Structure 1
Amino acid sequence: MRRRYPRRLSPATTSTTTRLALVAVVLAASGVLTATFVSGGGRGTADAATSLSAFVAIERVRPNVARPPLDPKASTGRFTVDCGTNRTGKFSPDNPVAQPGVKNGAEHVHDFVGNLAITANSSDADLAASGTTCENGDRSSYFWPVVRIDRSVRSGGGDVRAALAATSGTVTCPAVRDRLPAVPVPARAAVDRRLAELDRLEAAADRRILGTRGVDVRLNNDVLQWLRVRRAATLTGLGDTIRAAGGQAPAGLVSLTDCDVSYDGIHASLHTTDTAAASAATPQVSCPSVRDRLPGVPRQALAEVDRALAELDRQVSEANQRLVTSRGEGGAGFVENAVLGPLRARRTAVLDRIAIAIGRDGPRPQGLDALARCSVDQGKGQPATPPASSASPLPEPQGPNLELPHNTGRILRPEAVVIEYRGNPVSKVVPMPRFLRELTGDAKPTSRGPANARAIWTCSGFGDRLSDKYPICPAGRQVQRVQDFPGCWDGRNTDSANHRDHVAFADRATGACPRGFTAIPQLRITVSYDIPRGVQLSGRYALDSFPEENHNPFSDHNDFVNVNSTRTMQRIAACLNSGRNCR
């Protein structure tokens, strides 16, 4: 189970002058970047490690971007969306695509643009009703790990590797109980048995992982695949059980199939002194779970209870959006008076409706009114209510820099974010379906293997080359992350058990989609940063990452949920197919 780990204070760090001098000596002596530093994150803590071997002068990267020849049927247009650079300050350690239902599951902070309400628990209906930062009304969610600049760097670095070698991983799975529709009376016992089976499967997988210290990629993949197959079967059976009893088909269960191996236990070796929290990433509303407190619901009340449960979800989503758009407003009582008070009143009314609906044809549930009061998690350590996952809570982002264990330093704001949909070099594209989920790259190439990781780093003016290392750019050029998403779709699914199999990348050489897949608008997100050249040379900018990745630039990734309207997506496809540039 996951635990919270305090931080340990460290000795003073070396000066900037000494750092730059050491870099010059290393470069002059060897011609390569080999010195290793441990970052203090600007707080005197041995949290972040940056190795200069993870940096490369972009001029030394050979051109490697393939541009397939264009077929006469090619869709050559380009559709650009302006969603800003996250000036609203929506940051979160949630990953709603790769880890739905797991609070703080990323263990690092993401920049979010577009959808304002999204959290790890957002339903499709919640996303569709949200506000957005995009100028054209696009409610899609686009998010990626933040980049930080460390104020201080000093020699060392073996502590992270040593801590990882002594750490056993733990298995964490998305919660299912609070994502279900109303459960009919005849299905209640069978559903409970299947939920208990999910718990047993996770515990069995966890025991296998706990038997090994350090990272064993083969074991991790074997265990997760074993667990994925069995969870998929159990979730399918769970849905079938509810439907057979007259209930609503559960939505999005496939997204809850995949589990993960976490190495957050590494923090126990690295951090021994607690640090006071000053502020959270974007605060979120935490409300008591309702679905798992309900008895079996009589058939006559199923539709009404389902509508009420969806309304409760929508209320929380609207409150979370209010927290984003009202940051800095009001005094000490603003959140209570403007967000939590009205939310409590609305929840009380809906909970009363649920009790009445069930009580007409069965025993009326007692005590639901106690579930009306919610809290706002202000990043003081523990969530206001237990997270919707089977694991104990991870630390909240802390302090003015929204720091997490091992991910410290000042967040660097992007200078520009370009979101564009592109065509296919050999065929026309069809509109992507609404609520399609996609990810690119892999946040865990160390613990899961590099098969899905992608080289994304470059400098402005060097678009013909991408690196799996942090680039050192010529003076006046920006550091860039160019992240291409899969541009082929299986034609049926908006997600898959591993969040990858329903989409695919086109062939790099030919541009053709794999057999059985159809070309859709391919999303490309380019994030640009103005980073002082001295910071680049001294290895003081780094990506937020999982602890075992140790800021590995090859662990960069990006996630996307398509919440464009059907009409807008049709307009995007038409633009690409006609070869135009559109906004």
Structure 2
Amino acid sequence: MRINHLLVIVPAMAFTTIVTGNHSASAARGPAFGAMTVGAHEHGDRDGGHRGKADGRKGRDRDDDDHGKDDDDLGPKRNDFVDIRGVRPDFRRPRLRDGGSGGTFISRCGRNENEHYNSDNFIAAPGVRNGAQHLHDYVGNESTDGDSDDESLKRADTTCENGDKSTYYWPVLRLRGQRDDTPQARQSEKDGNVGRPLTPASVTLRFSGNPRDDVREMPRFLRMITGDAKAKSGDGEKARAQWTCTGFGDRRTEKYPLCPPGSRVARVLDFPSCWDGENTDSADHRSHVVFPKRDGKCDDDFKPIPHLEYLLTYDIPRNRLFALDGFPSEKHSPITDHGDFVNVMPDGLMRRATDCINNGQNCS
């Protein structure tokens, strides 16, 4: 276990990327909305870290892709995008009060370089293959699939440092107009998810404190979800989508952001942090751990635990259409962004992380 005090400083109003990658292969030109040129995407013609075969095959244009579907039918729509410079800069974190816990702990687990993905979700649909009907990126626990349970997770290897066997996962972001070379490509196409999955340029898994109180340790095998994968077709009350661009962390939107040159597309997946003190799961996978009030205070009978955020960034080539994987009914709406987590940290690591947070230190 390595604890580096004051190693990582994460300002409230900006993104700090922890694991970065430089992906510079040229991208073939593909479909794009004309309006996307207004907020031109970052890094010129870089390919955004597309997943590819080990032999370095480039992505192909839609004309050479026999898995393509018409984007107008699939979504997203033009009004699902917004120039980040037109978004109001009004994001604020709750003020840290006396007695609050102001530290952070970063779990370093990579960017899914080993291409661990599937369309399962063992939290919401245990034992069901393709239960999610969209592809997930996974970091951390290397065994996670639809058949996972506490015992299988405990036995597995991990991509994380310090023996963190937790599973962290989220739907992939795809670049339209390029071939999906994953083993799940045909099933993805049947579910309306087309294009090349993008490897994030950076992944930050950040645990922070509570602005009003110390946090207690998460129980092992605690399950948490955030967001609503069916927010577009449903009432959207559980939606938690937060999109932005690097350098614009105080501007958050439920739409896909169009970023200026030099800025990456970014997703923030913000998890609940008030635990009922007893259960590691519940029938709806939400009632046992809920979000705090606006000022950070937990409701009565709920206890503050470390606040987990996924910060994901992507290099999107200039003027290229990108979209989130989702259920067929959701038309790739950005409001459906969501994430899942199961805590499989060793008890000692969770204890040290919690101590770090409560002592106001920044550790990894």
Asked whether the two chains share a fold, i.e. TM above 0.5, the reply is: yes
CA RMSD, aligned part only?
2.5
Whether the aligned pair in 1 keeps the contact of 2:264 and 2:314 (CA below 8 Å) is yes
Alignment of 1:110-189 (within 5 A): 110-151=136-177
Alignment of 1:273-292 (within 5 A): 280-281=183-184
- Rounded Cα–Cα distance in structure 2 between residues aligned with 1:398 and 1:25: 31
- Structure 2: gaps of 5 or more residues: 1-27, 40-60
* 1:577 and 2:358 aligned: yes
Work out which of the residue numbers 76, 85, 100 in structure 2 matches 1:50: 76
- Judged with a 3 Å threshold, the aligned counterparts in structure 2 of structure 1 residues 469 and 437 are, in CA distance, closer, same or farther, namely same
Whether the aligned pair in 2 keeps the contact of 1:145 and 1:557 (CA below 8 Å) is yes
- Judged with a 3 Å threshold, the aligned counterparts in structure 2 of structure 1 residues 53 and 125 are, in CA distance, closer, same or farther, namely same
How many residues were matched structurally? 311
Alignment of 1:290-439 (within 5 A): 397-398=185-186, 403-439=189-225
- Rounded Cα–Cα distance in structure 1 between residues aligned with 2:128 and 2:250: 38
Residue 23 of structure 1: aligned partner: 35
Work out which of the residue numbers 309, 327, 332 in structure 2 matches 1:551: 332
Residue 119 of structure 2: aligned partner: 93
- Judged with a 3 Å threshold, the aligned counterparts in structure 2 of structure 1 residues 437 and 542 are, in CA distance, closer, same or farther, namely same
* 1:442 and 2:223 aligned: no
- Structure 1: gaps of 5 or more residues: 1-14, 28-38, 153-276, 282-396
Residue 516 of structure 1: aligned partner: 301
- Rounded Cα–Cα distance in structure 2 between residues aligned with 1:133 and 1:120: 19
SS of the residue 2:162 aligns to:
coil
SS of the residue 1:447 aligns to:
coil
- Rounded Cα–Cα distance in structure 1 between residues aligned with 2:336 and 2:246: 21
Whether the aligned pair in 2 keeps the contact of 1:488 and 1:517 (CA below 8 Å) is yes
- Judged with a 3 Å threshold, the aligned counterparts in structure 2 of structure 1 residues 135 and 459 are, in CA distance, closer, same or farther, namely same
Which structure's CA Rg is the greater one?
Answer: 1
- Rounded Cα–Cα distance in structure 1 between residues aligned with 2:302 and 2:140: 27
SS of the residue 2:152 aligns to:
helix
Work out which of the residue numbers 61, 78, 81 in structure 1 matches 2:87: 61
Work out which of the residue numbers 276, 281, 285 in structure 2 matches 1:490: 276
- Rounded Cα–Cα distance in structure 2 between residues aligned with 1:150 and 1:107: 18
SS of the residue 1:446 aligns to:
coil
Deviations 1:74-102 (A, max 9, x none): 10000001100111111100012222222
Residue 84 of structure 1: aligned partner: 110
- Rounded Cα–Cα distance in structure 2 between residues aligned with 1:450 and 1:141: 26
- Rounded Cα–Cα distance in structure 2 between residues aligned with 1:76 and 1:403: 45
Normalising to structure 1: TM-score of the pair? 0.51
- Judged with a 3 Å threshold, the aligned counterparts in structure 2 of structure 1 residues 490 and 151 are, in CA distance, closer, same or farther, namely same
**Bigger relative CO (Cα 8 Å, ≥ 6 apart):** 2
SS of the residue 2:142 aligns to:
coil
- Judged with a 3 Å threshold, the aligned counterparts in structure 2 of structure 1 residues 515 and 473 are, in CA distance, closer, same or farther, namely same
SS of the residue 1:574 aligns to:
helix
SS of the residue 1:571 aligns to:
helix
Whether the aligned pair in 2 keeps the contact of 1:109 and 1:146 (CA below 8 Å) is yes
- Judged with a 3 Å threshold, the aligned counterparts in structure 2 of structure 1 residues 61 and 124 are, in CA distance, closer, same or farther, namely same
Whether the aligned pair in 2 keeps the contact of 1:145 and 1:545 (CA below 8 Å) is yes
